[in-house]
Amino acid sequence: MNRTEIEMTSGGFYPTHRTPVFARNMVAASQPLAAQAGLRILAEGGNAIDAALATAICLTVVEPTGNGVGSDAFAIFWDGDTLHGLNASGRAPAAWTEAQFDGGVPQRGWDAVTVPGAVSAWVMMSRDHGRLPFERLFAPAIGYARDGFAVSPTIAGLWAKGAKLLSTQPGFAECFMPDGRAPRAGELFRNPALADTLELIADTNGEAFYRGALAEKIEAAARANDASLNAEDMAAHEADWCGTIQMPFRGTELHEIPPNGQGIAALIALGLTDRTAIADHGPDDPMAIHLQIEAMKLALADAAAHVGDPARMAFGPEALLVADYLDRRAGLIDPAHAGDPGAGAPTAGGTVYLTAADAEGRMVSFIQSNYMGFGAGVVVPGTGIHMQNRGAGFVAERGHPAAVGPSRRPFHTIIPGFVTTGGAPEMSFGVMGGPMQAQGHLQMMLRTMLWGQDPQAASDAPRWQVISGRRVAVEDAMPDATVAALEKLGHDVARGGTAAEFGFGGAQLIRRSGAGYVAGSDHRKDGYAAGF
């Protein structure tokens, strides 16, 4: 199957106020000002890699509830000739030990912080594949940080929730609670310290962050709070050109970043689903949803048991993707009843996803994340840098591939997705939201590549999410008849909230269409898709 053999189904049958966007140059992001920053760079002669980086950098300012300069990042992108995968996740401080965290790594505070890798992704992608000077990509973000921006509605709500949890964390209130509270929707927020930080990163090509003044400030803040992270840990960080792992699906290929991320769960679930009668049912048929849920449970169980720092995994990811293994696992799916293969209960997430494409054929799938909202909740004094809490992705079980330890990479929830058709770029996409991400990738992949929905329609459709055991959450927009049918099959179904809540994620998608692209942006977030 390829895009000339199907006619994409447009939206209109799901409740939304958005329509798909068609253009030859495109950016889709979770915050409008950031998407416009990427378009600005494209209009100034930048390519899709430049546009994606400018968008990502701007998101550290305008969407601090999901990411920041202290985040990690991953990317999959087509440079015009070749598909690349980049792992820019950081590692634990070298001084961390298993004994130190026998009870598990905390979710907040400096002891949850691993080395942030996002800045290294910006540097490497710009250096190896960008067109414009690195410092030029920072102009929109620096302007919004110094002069201020009006806070958007969904982000304002998440900001208020974060402030309630984190107001006592070191540096948080001073940076993110002017006048003693979170800014409300439409209010102007400035972060001049972050503007200075971004200027320093831009001027030094990232060196100040990993080997200079900013690294020293990060070490000083960690030391002041009795934490181990130091300048040597920062200087030792390296992002990796890691390639992708893939799963063929009916003439297309879904690509994900190899572990330490959960992208492999999306591949496993897709391979298992393809071994069922999924194509005999429509996209909103209860049986189609049931088969996806059952495949996802098995995939999540495998990811929970086997995925962690790749250097500590007992076998390579390909062992979970070979046909005979998938055949055996697919035999556990009962079309008539919900099973319980023991998938773990998911946790919350805090992430931004963006995608960009240019008229010359480049496509970028990029994800950047703190982890849980504002991350660890700690802010480095005088810098505007708030730090991720990716250490919480480690497990306390000794011997597990995701066990905490010195200089190890934790298990990561954030995953960019990319689809090729016969090796040629077809779609760049992602779904934010912690454990929703692999589940969202499966749902977006099937809706677009099997059922032919356009990116906006695929994004608009009601979502489901495996919780644990037979427990499944569905959005309020899921029809009552569908819920009843799922319950009859043995699922324990909970309505999980309105579309404004973060639990069902936020998708951005760009797909090739004719001479250009068609894009969709999730109505569950503040962002949009735009192009020219």
DSSP letter (8 states) at residue 70: B
In angstroms, the CA 453 to CA 82 distance is 27
Active site residue 351: yes
Measured torsion, CA atoms of residues 505, 506, 507, 508, in degrees rounded to the nearest 10: -160
Give one word for 500, left, alpha or beta, with left for phi > 0 and alpha for psi -120 to 50: alpha
**Out of 252, 276, 351, 420, which one is annotated catalytic?**
351
In angstroms, the CA 142 to CA 135 distance is 10
Give one word for 228, left, alpha or beta, with left for phi > 0 and alpha for psi -120 to 50: alpha
Contacts by residues 162-167 (CB-CB < 8 Å, ≥ 24 positions apart): 162/65, 162/373, 162/374, 162/377, 165/108, 165/373, 165/377, 166/108, 166/373, 166/374, 166/377
In angstroms, the CA 311 to CA 302 distance is 17
Q: Is 273 helix (H, G, I), strand (E, B) or coil?
A: helix
Please say whether the beta carbons of 258 and 243 come within 8 A. Answer: yes
CB count in 10 Å sphere of residue 376: 30
Please say whether the beta carbons of 45 and 131 come within 8 A. Answer: yes
Please say whether the beta carbons of 97 and 164 come within 8 A. Answer: no
Enzyme catalytic residues: 351
